[in-house]
Structure 1
C-alpha cells in the first residue's frame, strides 16, 4: 500500500498538564497546504480485565460516571503506574475495585479509543476465574459488583447500560473467541 503524504506538525503548545492528562494544541499543515490548530489530549495507559467465571459470566461494576451523568456497568480497571507491569496493574485494579483476585492474566487486546484527538492506550486482559478475597471493594469505585452472563452483557450494551469502550470491546472480543 502506498503511503499518502504525512501531515506536517508545525508546533505544539502545552495548555495544561497533571498526572492524569496532558492537554496541548498542535499546529498542523495538511499535504495540500491547509493549516489548522488541533487540541490533543494525552493520557496514561489504562489496563482493564475481563474476568469470566466457569458459567461464562463477566465480573462487572455498576458506577456513576459524572462526565456523561449516567449510571453504567463496566469492567474493573484503571491507570497503570509509571514502572508497573501492565498485567499486574490490571490484576491490582480488579482486586482493589471488586474484592476479587483474578487468576492467570492473559492479554486480550490493546486499542486506542479516540485517535483523532486522544492518545490513551487501553489494554484489556482476560482472566478465567477469580477468587474472593478479604479486600473490601473501594466504595468510591462501585455501587454494586455483579457476575453478568455474556449474553446479558450484550443486551446491556444494546440498552445503553454498558457504554464504555473498554467493556464493549472486551465483551464482543470474548464472544468472538468462543465462537
Structure 2
C-alpha cells in the first residue's frame, strides 16, 4: 500500500521492541517499548486492524452508489459506501471492486486511488484506502449475506443533508464523500 515512514527524522519515536499481546484475523494488540526524543522509554499500546478499501462510485448523473444498513456496534441504521478488508496479496483497487460487487451487485468501472488515511491515528493502525470509479454496471444481486443492505444511487446534492441528519456512518464513507464533493469531477 501507500506507506510512508519517516524514521530518520530527528523527532521520530524509536521503537525498541514490539510484543504481540493478542491476535486474530480481525485485530491485533501489541505492547511497544518506545522512546520519544528527549524523554525516557515507556510502554505504548497499539491496536492493529487489517487494511480496508472503500469505493466511491459516481455515475454520469452525479449520484454515488451507497448502502443503507444496520451496524451492531453503534446499534443503528445509516448510509455507507461499499468497502471492506483487503485480503492478503490483494491490491486495494481489486478489493474495492470486489467489495462493491459483493455488497451491491454493481461492478464499478476502473478504480483509481483517491486518498489513504488513518481513522484513529495514535492508538490504532488501520490504513483506509479510498478508491473512486466513474460508473458501474449491474451484474446481479449482492452476494455477501452479512453485508447486505438497501442499495441506492444517492444524488451528491443530498450528501450535506444526510450529513446534517447524522445518517452517514463510518469514517471511510465520510472521507470518501467529502473527497468526491471537494475535488474535481474528473477524479471520480
- Is the TM-score greater than 0.5? yes
> Which of 170, 174, 177 matches 2:180?
174
Q: Please, which runs of 5 or more residues in structure 1 have no aligned partner?
A: none
Equivalent position of 1:43 in the other structure: 49
Q: For 1:30-69, list aligned pairs within 5 A.
A: 30-69=36-75
Mapped to 1, the partners of 2:11 and 2:130 lie a distance apart of 33
> Which of 78, 84, 108 matches 1:72?
78
Q: For 1:118-129, list aligned pairs within 5 A.
A: 118-129=124-135
Once the two structures are superposed, residues 50-69 of structure 1 have per-residue CA deviations (whole angstroms, 9 ceiling, x without a partner) of 11111111111112222222
Deviation larger for 101-110 or 129-138: 129-138
Query: How big is the shift at 1:34?
Result: 4.5
Do the aligned partners of 1:97 and 1:138 also contact (CA within 8 Å) in 2? yes
Equivalent position of 2:156 in the other structure: 150
Report the TM-score when normalising by structure 2. 0.85
Report the TM-score when normalising by structure 1. 0.89
Do the aligned partners of 1:54 and 1:129 also contact (CA within 8 Å) in 2? yes
**SS at 1:160's partner residue?**
coil
Query: How big is the shift at 1:128?
Result: 0.9
Do the aligned partners of 1:154 and 1:171 also contact (CA within 8 Å) in 2? no
Query: CA-atom RMSD, angstroms?
Result: 1.8
Matching of residue 83 in structure 1 with residue 89 in structure 2? yes
Once the two structures are superposed, residues 131-176 of structure 1 have per-residue CA deviations (whole angstroms, 9 ceiling, x without a partner) of 1112434332133111111121222122211131111111111112
